[in-house]
Structure 1
């Protein structure tokens, strides 16, 4: 399980509300990791519990994460802040502090969750473990964005997995390869990272096709990212991912 446990509000798959605008500085430099950040219930990042990344959208306001991070969070009752380029344990005003105004979770994620309880001693496995946040403001204009790549036929695909461990104030990442992996009839991405620990807090962090801006997965899926910190999993992006992404793009 790569999520830090916390108290959440009542379950919703899709909800919107007006929220405060972000603060940021124009003209900031960007790197491959600039669109990646943490999710937290405060705009300071204290107690950050998952990772996420900005993805390309017409309104420049869409963030990708794992569904198990936000599936039962109502942003009208519980604040969800996305803090990109979190560094040295603090939010970076250069790239802003962005509050979610809408959360989009695939309906099949909720259906699967209700019908497939986690086996004893395991975290929950779900082949639809991806979700989108729509934030208030032009986050993409500040950070840049990754481009989701669907229908990935991964076989030794060079991949960088990145996320924020909840015990660390800086981004952890691993350069390895992604392969398709089938479990109980559903496909997932699997990446071995024997030298980098990606554990609690890294859920929702992107799997990026190395040396591109294309995101092919997010930490989650099989046992919410995997039972060990050295082998990482993602649900397979598919038609349900495309539909949720389209809904997020519409705002």
Structure 2
């Protein structure tokens, strides 16, 4: 089989999962090195910065003479060497950064493959004005849609110099024998405020476009290899496939791809992703939200770049950054399409950062969840009790997301001693209340916690009461009122009770739904919501073996009809905490929030007899 046939076959295959290979010991992404043996007398002439073709001296013949196989092999990523500083992150043990050595143990590894037609390598050389020494650089880039069929996207720190773009670069061939040719970059487009390889917010602007000359046969790159579509980065959390060409730890000099998950880079208008094997040379490489492997194109929502040149932080290869593709990105894209060089002042005003709920390392410490409309605006909110006793309120946006968080209680012993809690309308105020059961057996209603906080409240039971045996509680509308004033209790001996009309005067009326039994001792998690639209709410139970059951139309007369939602030994055995509430625009309490054992937190919107569409709120650690 020829190389071209093998490449065509590789593109027609579906995306593979990364192979399990043992990476080389982590080292910094290399800094620029001088090209071997200096500049030959027959090398290209003209300026090494600005518009590469400004005086017409940089030709295909020049590129072929200069870019010998040895020089292409020696080119390195222009990102700076690793430095020890790291991005700002929330302080405290619970909010510790997840980039410790253990974080690399369970993550994807970049898989070598023959490449994608529209993605390739940039080879560029520049001259250091202080030493007059040449530096040979290598980055990754992708052809993107443009009216002239002649634009590539890469990182801002890759722009400048005399450069050629080689789509689907094949190291086995010389420059003149590449499967899809090569294209000189005549003009670079970068935001004038960008500063190379910084660890400051201005690194949010680490993106660039290159305008390509036609090939020697007169064809534009997009007409030969196709072009990908550029989309706004929709959120911090995205599933992407990173593609690029590492220049180190890659003896074959082949492309790599890595399907992975993005999350926020705290304090920056950037996202980050974990994948082993993303060494220097992948700078500028695209992050696809969708790839057509047969056509060799897709939808791009990010590119390697940003903080510290897009990676290389703390001497690891597995943490990679990308700027958010927002307003400034698309302004530059328009300028590149129109062949305009515009100035946008001298300082960078960082846009308001999209809200992030944090990462899986943080959320693995979320011990209890309670849904409710705590702020009184009709939008579902979430209260979290953390393992250190801190309590926070996450305000909902009414569209299945959250807009911010507020501390209700500092870390401490009081809330460490909470066994179970639930949100409901027990006191008749403007916002939801909390009903809290302490390990000691004390029970309190905390009215309108969104405005009044979580201190004080109304005591319903003293310490030492039978309520120390209330292992699981959940509030709901179980057929006795229009408000969430009923309380379902699973006791330590397996008994199940329904308390109707619970309020500030007491627990209302108790209805025994099940006598003590061994089966319900295994009801590990219990919550309630209106999943079927009937008169009464449903009870949702995750059993200790991973099975999930829904009991429809729970009420004083019984738990209702049981419907199995997940079998035993399912992934739901990793469900650590869950709560149901009304979080999206339909205003119905049918949205299920789940915190998994690895810290990933998901919302299953519009859950019915089966689980609704899953949306990730927090990426796993």
* Common fold by TM > 0.5: yes
Distance 2:271 2:60 in 1: 35
Residue 325 of structure 2 aligns to a residue whose secondary structure is: coil
Residue of structure 2 equivalent to 1:191: 273
- Tell me whether 1:145 sits opposite 2:223 in the alignment: no
Question: In the TM superposition, what whole-angstrom CA distance separates every residue of 1:9-67 from its partner, at most 9, and x where no partner exists?
Answer: 7765x776355469xxxxxxxx981111111138xxxx551111100001000000000
What is the alpha-carbon root mean square deviation over aligned residues?
3.1
Query: Which of the residues 247, 251, 256 maps onto 1:172?
Result: 256
Residue of structure 2 equivalent to 1:248: 336
Residue of structure 2 equivalent to 1:163: 244
> What are the residue-to-residue correspondences of 1:204-243 with 2, within 5 Å?
204-211=284-291, 213-226=298-311, 227=313, 228-243=316-331
- Tell me whether 1:132 sits opposite 2:214 in the alignment: no
Contact 2:170/2:179 (8 A) holds in 1: no
Residue 244 of structure 1 aligns to a residue whose secondary structure is: helix
Distance 1:117 1:211 in 2: 31
Change in 2 beyond 3 A, CA 1:245/1:210: same
Contact 2:265/2:272 (8 A) holds in 1: no
- Tell me whether 1:33 sits opposite 2:116 in the alignment: yes
Question: In the TM superposition, what whole-angstrom CA distance separates every residue of 1:101-125 from its partner, at most 9, and x where no partner exists?
Answer: 1000012314xx5xx9659xxxx97
Question: In the TM superposition, what whole-angstrom CA distance separates every residue of 1:45-97 from its partner, at most 9, and x where no partner exists?
Answer: xx551111100001000000000112xx2xxxx42000110123544533111
TM-score (norm 1): 0.76
Change in 2 beyond 3 A, CA 1:88/1:151: closer
Residue 109 of structure 1 aligns to a residue whose secondary structure is: coil
Residue of structure 2 equivalent to 1:28: none
Question: In the TM superposition, what whole-angstrom CA distance separates every residue of 1:175-196 from its partner, at most 9, and x where no partner exists?
Answer: 11222x1433x22111111xx4
Change in 2 beyond 3 A, CA 1:231/1:125: farther
Q: Any runs of at least 4 consecutive aligned residues in structure 1 with deviations exceeding 2 A, and if so which?
A: 1-4, 6-12, 14-22, 88-94, 116-119
Residue of structure 2 equivalent to 1:50: 139
Aligned residue pairs, count: 220
Change in 2 beyond 3 A, CA 1:61/1:118: same
TM-score (norm 2): 0.33
Q: Which has the higher contact order (CA 8 A, sep 6+)?
A: 1
Deviation larger for 94-103 or 81-90: 81-90
Change in 2 beyond 3 A, CA 1:150/1:166: same
- Tell me whether 1:203 sits opposite 2:283 in the alignment: yes
- Structure 1: tracts of 5 or more residues without a match: 23-30
Q: Indicate the structure (1 or 2) with the bigger Cα radius of gyration.
A: 2
Contact 1:54/1:63 (8 A) holds in 2: yes
Residue 101 of structure 1 aligns to a residue whose secondary structure is: strand
- 1:204 is displaced (CA, Å) by 0.5
- Structure 2: tracts of 5 or more residues without a match: 1-27, 36-46, 62-113, 126-135, 215-219, 293-297, 340-621
